[in-house]
Amino acid sequence: MYTYQYPRPALTVDCVIFGLSEDSLKVLLIQRAHDPYSGYWAFPGGFVDMDETTEVAARRELAEETGIQEMFMEQLYTFSGVDRDPRERVVSVAHFALVKLSDYKVTAGSDANRAEWFAVDQVPKLAFDHDQILQVALARLKGKVRYQPIGFELLPEKFTLGQLQKMYEHILGRELDKRNFRKKILGMELLLPLTEQQKGVSHRAAKLYQFDRAKYQALEASGFMFEI
């Protein structure tokens, strides 16, 4: 038991994890097995321990609940509505994360802790204030993806320009012109063209590319701004 002179809110983290399938942008949800909101879906999360930052806590919870590790993650926003949890005062630091969906099978999941990927436009009513958290996360992703090369975190290491373009189209919610897109992205000279080609597709095989992180970091340090 721990005693304090003044009352303290509980401190938790929640994680909005985005992944990209062939036909849509997805988020990972966990179905709650207990009240409150038993049966509702919610973002994975949990309490912050005394010896870890919120980001460390978010990564730990994510590894525990989904097995996902080493993904791109950043702090999203801190939700502190007084009644966001009906049991007691809980302040939650939400994080948002991007993963290469190809690396993680859809967790079949134990009965007590079912995890599932949902297309972002087919997410059901969520537990607590998680609907609001999702809105904030989507807005952040849309705003950020155009000015920082974080979209690559959603794709496999080697990808085609078609996949890259589709990723932006799914996130931004509008179509892009193929020739203009290629001109722009190749003009930045941040994609390493590989000799390798796409395999097993029933149409002309596309060239594979890799994002050149080292080059980006060098350019960024000298004032270069990524932009799509």
Partner DNA sequence: CCAAAAGTGTTCTTTATACACCCATGT
Partner DNA sequence: ACATGGGTGTATAAAGAACACTTTTGG
Nearer to DNA, 104 or 209 (CB): 209
Residues 43-72 that bind DNA (CB under 7 A): none
C-alpha to C-alpha distance for 143 and 151, rounded to whole angstroms: 12
**Residue 141 in contact with a second copy, rule: CB under 8 A:** no
C-alpha to C-alpha distance for 181 and 31, rounded to whole angstroms: 39
**Residue 131 in contact with a second copy, rule: CB under 8 A:** no
Nearer to DNA, 105 or 199 (CB): 199
C-alpha to C-alpha distance for 227 and 122, rounded to whole angstroms: 29
Choice from 5, 180, 195, 222 touching DNA (CB under 7 A): 180
Nearer to a second copy, 3 or 110 (CB): 3
**Residue 156 in contact with DNA, rule: CB under 7 A:** no
Choice from 42, 136, 192, 206 touching DNA (CB under 7 A): 206
Which of the stretches 7-15, 21-29, 149-157, 201-209 binds a second copy when contact is defined by CB under 8 A?
7-15
Choice from 52, 103, 177, 189 touching a second copy (CB under 8 A): 52
Give Cβ neighbours of residue 27 (< 8 Å, ≥ 6 apart).
16, 17, 18, 19, 43, 117, 118, 120, 123, 134, 137
Choice from 33, 106, 139, 205 touching DNA (CB under 7 A): 205
C-alpha to C-alpha distance for 67 and 69, rounded to whole angstroms: 6
CB of 184 vs DNA, minimal distance in Å: 6
Nearer to a second copy, 14 or 19 (CB): 14
Which of the stretches 5-13, 123-131, 180-188, 203-211 binds a second copy when contact is defined by CB under 8 A?
5-13
CB of 202 vs a second copy, minimal distance in Å: 39
**Residue 222 in contact with DNA, rule: CB under 7 A:** no
**Residue 179 in contact with DNA, rule: CB under 7 A:** yes
Give Cβ neighbours of residue 162 (< 8 Å, ≥ 6 apart).
206
Alpha-carbon torsion 192, 196, 199, 202, what sign? positive
C-alpha to C-alpha distance for 8 and 26, rounded to whole angstroms: 35
Alpha-carbon torsion 11, 44, 166, 71, what sign? positive
Quote the Cα angle for 173-174-178, to 5°.
135
Name the site residues for DNA (rule: CB under 7 A).
Answer: 160-163, 177-180, 182-184, 201-207, 227
